[in-house]
């Protein structure tokens, strides 16, 4: 065990990547999106039938960057199983929702809310930014509704009005996850 603790994270991450594990553990931006999407494509090119395990613990980030990851997950043929631990918030929560199988730790917190923005400038430009933020709210609500199978879009839109924190049990009831992880139930 001491050897593992002394091993740089990159070595451990590479070993786990060979076993089809990807980690999304930081704010979502375009640089991280490029890394995640390249990993998804690489793993799919090795086998489009073996599952890819995407581990998520992130405060969220840029909506467009997250939507790029979602598009990639939905485009590749390999199944993607998502695992939520710690905090899965904002755009990370939406990415988690598109997994072919979705697992949450029992102490995981899941948070969704409407997109935020800082419209400045000419009034017409501000209106354009507001219209786009409304469109993104609809898009994220649709993704959650489509993948929950239980919670209708209009209910999700109400939940998005403010920061909405949910436990893993609540996520299970709403259809936002498929199973709560325990050491004995989920084998990765």
CA distances from 52 to 22, 23, 77, 87, 184 (A): 8, 11, 10, 21, 21
What is the rounded distance in angstroms from the CA atom of residue 56 to the CA atom of residue 112?
A: 15
Paired residues of 28 in beta bridges:
61
Exactly one of 58, 90, 148, 168 is catalytic; which is it? 90
CA distances from 100 to 1, 28, 104, 164 (A): 33, 21, 13, 23
Paired residues of 109 in beta bridges:
87
Are residues 13 and 46 in contact, defined by beta-carbon separation less than 8 angstroms? no
Would you call 55 a catalytic residue per the annotation?
A: no
CA distances from 186 to 17, 102, 137 (A): 19, 11, 33
What is the rounded distance in angstroms from the CA atom of residue 72 to the CA atom of residue 61?
A: 17
Exactly one of 21, 113, 148, 168 is catalytic; which is it? 113
Are residues 76 and 48 in contact, defined by beta-carbon separation less than 8 angstroms? yes
Would you call 45 a catalytic residue per the annotation?
A: no
Q: Please give the positions annotated as active site.
A: 90, 113
């Amino acid at each position: 065990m001491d050897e593992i603790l002394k091993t740089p994270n990159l070595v451990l991450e590479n070993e786990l990547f060979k076993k089809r594990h990807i980690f999304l553990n930081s704010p979502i931006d375009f640089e991280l999106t490029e890394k995640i999407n390249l990993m998804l494509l690489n793993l799919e090119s090795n086998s489009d039938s073996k599952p890819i395990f995407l581990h998520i613990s992130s405060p969220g980030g840029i909506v467009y960057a997250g939507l790029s990851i979602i598009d990639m997950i939905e485009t590749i043929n390999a199944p993607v199983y998502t695992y939520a631990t710690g905090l899965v918030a904002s755009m990370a929560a939406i990415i988690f929702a598109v997994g072919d199988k979705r697992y949450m730790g029992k102490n995981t917190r899941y948070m969704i809310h409407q997109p935020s923005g800082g419209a400045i400038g000419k009034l017409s430009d501000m209106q354009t930014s507001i219209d786009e933020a409304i469109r993104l709210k609809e898009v994220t609500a649709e993704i959650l509704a489509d993948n929950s199978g239980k919670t209708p879009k209009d209910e999700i839109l109400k939940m998005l009005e403010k920061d909405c924190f949910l436990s893993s049990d609540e996520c299970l009831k709403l259809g936002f996850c498929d199973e709560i992880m325990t050491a004995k139930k989920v084998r990765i």
